């Protein structure tokens, strides 16, 4: 549900404006209406710094272990500079090591030699050359001009060393290279650089044990400063700039405490109920279970203050649809156990997401049991047989839903959610505009929720055909009268009838399309089960007969296959129920959205 709000208008003397803002920030309940204004250069710089600090937090989190220590550097700015300096050293040292590795690779073909010995020979009046040529271009006559030896050969390349007393050995097919150091020299340099790099990384690892908290405090401080500047500039100056009018919102349940604090400061203010034209901030107030799904609803938009918060109404459906799409009890059990383990390790702000994962995993486990799938193994009727099968398991197999059952169930669930959305739309119309504006919607609900199912059940022989037809006709007439003749209160009956006919076409085509969209629940669950079964078959068929090797290959294929299948199934199980919620359900519930979040002005 949406928590009710009160509109606050404060009249402040300009000389006391700063002090009043500080008091309001300490109270931490007033959502100030901040207008669109250009950010100052200072605030732009702060935003840039915040983004940089967030990147550093992510970097430190990737290094951090579970251990935490007291901050060795408590100032966020100083810590940021220290991390930047160490990162710069890491970059330079990594580049140096990479360069030395290339130098080492270039001299490796020449083997080990002493540069001082080479230099001594040259000082004695000899030419010492390191040469490269293609083996097809080798010429024995070169031996007449110099003492030349093959040092190494890699493929078609010959690495030669030549010593001559007179002129240097030159030839178009010979490439001379200058070697100042042997590979051993570069190896020593690389080891020294690597030790220095390890030392710098150790310093960063140590900093990561406390950096997150310090950097997040700095981020919070900068965000608070930016928010303060926005609030400060949102005040409207009046009476020759002597007075400032500040407008905002507070939760209605906290009005007494808030006004008490204002009265202590002898401030002039008014408290008003919101009007339909006001752009009131949205603060959701739901049960502990529904609160877990608020983040999912916010992916689309928040409701506006005139309509219902649909979070508690779509939460059970989303949970059920997720389990339907994933549909494997083994995968569900993995998610349940993984989230329970994560809850023992995670930070408080992450725990709601883990609880959400737990309930989604629980739904997956239940739907997997109903559909008879466990890590791709099918447990349907006659799917698993043998003397070792216990009687209770055989009884369970009789109740496992087959593909036809699951397809029908997906359509029935879709029909139920669509009708439920229509009911919510009628309720919201009555709340916002008055009961008479919901009468036509109630008529459509009678047709869709009673007339159509009665006819369908009768035609399928699930109830007496005559009774089904009678109910369908009576409900159809009762629903059609307001749907066709009272869909626009206050207009003449002919206009209502014309509008009703147009709505009938939209309802017929839209309802069919909406309900058929839910068949994707069945399709995704079936595809996940089939892929899991395929990987199980591959593990059995492709494994060799050697005892130990067979088990190893099976484990590798099963681990890779089910990991891939689980990843793809999780993606589909998240996205498609999301689509059904935001398109089919929201449309039939008449959801408009467009609300903005309640964000109180505070020091946090």
| High-pLDDT (> 90) share of the chain, % | 27
pLDDT band at 387 (very low <50, low <70, confident <90, very high): low
**Strand stretches in 138-263, DSSP E:** 147-154, 157-164, 175-177, 236-238, 243-251
- Which H/E stretch holds residue 132? strand 127-134
Q: Is-contact 441 425, C-beta < 8 A?
A: yes
pLDDT band at 384 (very low <50, low <70, confident <90, very high): low
Residue 476 confidence (pLDDT): 86
Report d(CA 515, CA 535) in Å as an integer: 32
CA 574 to chain centre: 10
- Which H/E stretch holds residue 404? helix 403-433
Residue 582 confidence (pLDDT): 93
- The pLDDT tens digits of the residues spanning 104-153 come to 888 888 777 777 787 888 888 888 888 888 888 888 888 877 888 888 88
Virtual torsion, Cα 214, 215, 220, 225, nearest 10 deg: 110
Q: How many CA atoms lie within 13 A of 511 on its CB side?
A: 19
- The pLDDT tens digits of the residues spanning 64-92 come to 876 777 888 888 889 999 999 999 999 99
Residue among 224, 266, 166 nearest 25 (CA) = 224
Residue 85 confidence (pLDDT): 93
* Token representation of residue 233: 């500039």
Residue 441 confidence (pLDDT): 86
- The pLDDT tens digits of the residues spanning 275-297 come to 888 889 999 999 999 999 999 99
Virtual torsion, Cα 179, 183, 186, 192, nearest 10 deg: -160
The model's pTM: 0.78
* Token representation of residue 245: 């009018």
3-state helix, strand, coil in the chain (%, to 5): 65, 10, 25
- The pLDDT tens digits of the residues spanning 177-227 come to 888 788 888 888 899 999 999 999 999 988 888 888 899 889 988 888 888
- Tell me the mean pLDDT in the region 595-604: 86
Residue 228 confidence (pLDDT): 86
Q: Is-contact 17 235, C-beta < 8 A?
A: yes
pLDDT band at 390 (very low <50, low <70, confident <90, very high): low
Average pLDDT, the chain: 86
pLDDT band at 156 (very low <50, low <70, confident <90, very high): confident
Residue 481 confidence (pLDDT): 84
Residue 121 confidence (pLDDT): 81
Report d(CA 254, CA 234) in Å as an integer: 23
**Position with higher pLDDT, 128 vs 543:** 128
- The pLDDT tens digits of the residues spanning 340-381 come to 999 888 888 889 999 999 999 999 999 999 888 888 888 766
- A 10 A CB-CB count for 13 gives 14
In this structure, the strands spanning 5-13 and 268-272 are antiparallel
- Residue 133, SS3 per DSSP: strand
- Residue 300, SS3 per DSSP: coil
Pick from 51-55, 113-117, 132-136, 572-576: least confident: 113-117
Residue 37 confidence (pLDDT): 66
Residue 87 confidence (pLDDT): 92
Residue 398 confidence (pLDDT): 76
Q: Is-contact 3 573, C-beta < 8 A?
A: no
Residue 144 confidence (pLDDT): 76
Report d(CA 225, CA 337) in Å as an integer: 42
Residue 389 confidence (pLDDT): 64
Residue 386 confidence (pLDDT): 60
- The pLDDT tens digits of the residues spanning 403-438 come to 888 999 999 999 999 999 999 999 999 988 888 888
Question: What are the residues whose beta carbons fall under 8 Å from the beta carbon of 332, sequence distance 6 or more?
Answer: 323, 326, 361, 362, 363, 364, 365, 366, 367, 368
Q: Is-contact 349 316, C-beta < 8 A?
A: no
Report d(CA 525, CA 368) in Å as an integer: 9
Residue 548 confidence (pLDDT): 78
CA 516 to chain centre: 28
Residue 382 confidence (pLDDT): 63
């Amino acid at each position: 549900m949406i928590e009710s709000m009160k509109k606050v208008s404060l009249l402040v003397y300009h000389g006391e404006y700063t002090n009043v803002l500080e008091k309001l920030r300490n109270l931490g309940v007033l959502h100030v209406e901040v207008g669109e204004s250009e950010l100052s250069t200072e605030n732009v710089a702060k935003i840039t710094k915040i983004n940089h600090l967030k990147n550093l937090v992510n970097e430190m989190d990737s290094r951090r272990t579970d251990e935490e220590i007291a901050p060795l550097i408590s100032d966020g700015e100083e810590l940021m500079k220290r991390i930047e300096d160490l990162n710069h050293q890491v970059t330079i040292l990594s580049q140096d090591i990479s360069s030395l590795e290339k130098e080492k690779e270039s001299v490796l073909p020449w083997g080990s030699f002493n540069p001082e010995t080479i230099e001594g020979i040259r000082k004695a009046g000899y030419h010492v050359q390191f040469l490269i040529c293609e083996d097809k271009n080798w010429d024995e006559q070169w031996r007449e001009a110099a003492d030349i030896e093959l040092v190494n050969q890699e493929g078609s390349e010959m690495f030669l060393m030549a010593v001559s007393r007179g002129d240097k050995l030159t030839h178009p097919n010979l490439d001379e290279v200058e070697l100042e150091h042997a590979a051993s020299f570069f190896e020593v340099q690389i080891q020294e650089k690597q030790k220095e790099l390890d030392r710098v990384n150790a310093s960063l690892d140590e900093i990561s044990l406390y950096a997150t908290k310090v950097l997040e405090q700095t981020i919070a401080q900068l965000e608070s400063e930016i928010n303060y500047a926005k609030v400060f500039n949102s005040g409207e100056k009046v009476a020759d700039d002597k007075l400032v009018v500040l407008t905002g919102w507070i939760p209605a349940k906290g009005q007494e405490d808030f006004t008490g604090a204002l009265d202590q400061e002898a401030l002039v203010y008014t408290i008003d109920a919101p009007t339909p034209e006001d752009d009131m901030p949205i603060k959701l107030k739901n049960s502990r279970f529904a609160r877990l799904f608020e983040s999912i609803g916010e992916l689309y938009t928040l409701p506006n203050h005139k309509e219902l918060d649909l979070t508690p109404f779509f939460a059970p459906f989303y949970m059920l649809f997720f389990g339907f799409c994933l549909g494997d009890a083994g995968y569900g059990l993995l998610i349940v156990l993984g989230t329970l383990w994560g809850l023992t390790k995670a930070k408080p702000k992450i725990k709601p997401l883990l609880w959400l994962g737990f309930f989604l995993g629980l739904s997956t486990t239940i739907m997997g049991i109903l559909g008879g799938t466990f890590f791709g193994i099918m447990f349907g009727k006659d799917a698993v047989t043998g003397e070792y099968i216990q009687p209770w398991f055989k009884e369970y197999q009789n109740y496992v839903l087959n593909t036809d059952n699951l397809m029908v169930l997906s359509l029935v669930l879709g029909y139920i959610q669509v009708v439920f959305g229509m009911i919510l739309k009628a309720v919201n119309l009555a709340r916002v505009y008055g009961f008479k504006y919901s009468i036509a919607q109630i008529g459509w609900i009678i047709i869709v929720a009673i007339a159509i199912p009665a006819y369908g059940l009768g035609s399928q022989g699930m109830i007496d055909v005559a009774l089904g037809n009678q109910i369908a006709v009576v409900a159809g007439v009762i629903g059609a009268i307001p749907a066709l003749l009272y869909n626009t209160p206050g207009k003449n009956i002919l206009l209502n009838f014309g509008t009703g006919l147009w709505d009938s076409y939209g309802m017929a085509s839209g309802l069919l399309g909406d309900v058929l969209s839910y068949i994707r629940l069945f399709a995704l669950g079936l595809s996940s089960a089939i892929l899991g079964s395929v990987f199980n078959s591959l593990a059995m068929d492709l494994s060799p007969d050697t005892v130990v090797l067979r088990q190893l290959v099976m484990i590798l294929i099963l681990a890779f296959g089910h990991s891939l299948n689980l990843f793809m199934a999780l993606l589909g199980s998240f996205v498609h129920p999301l689509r059904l919620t935001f398109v089919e359900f929201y449309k039939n519930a008449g959801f408009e959205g467009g609300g903005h979040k309640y964000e109180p002005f505070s020091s946090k």
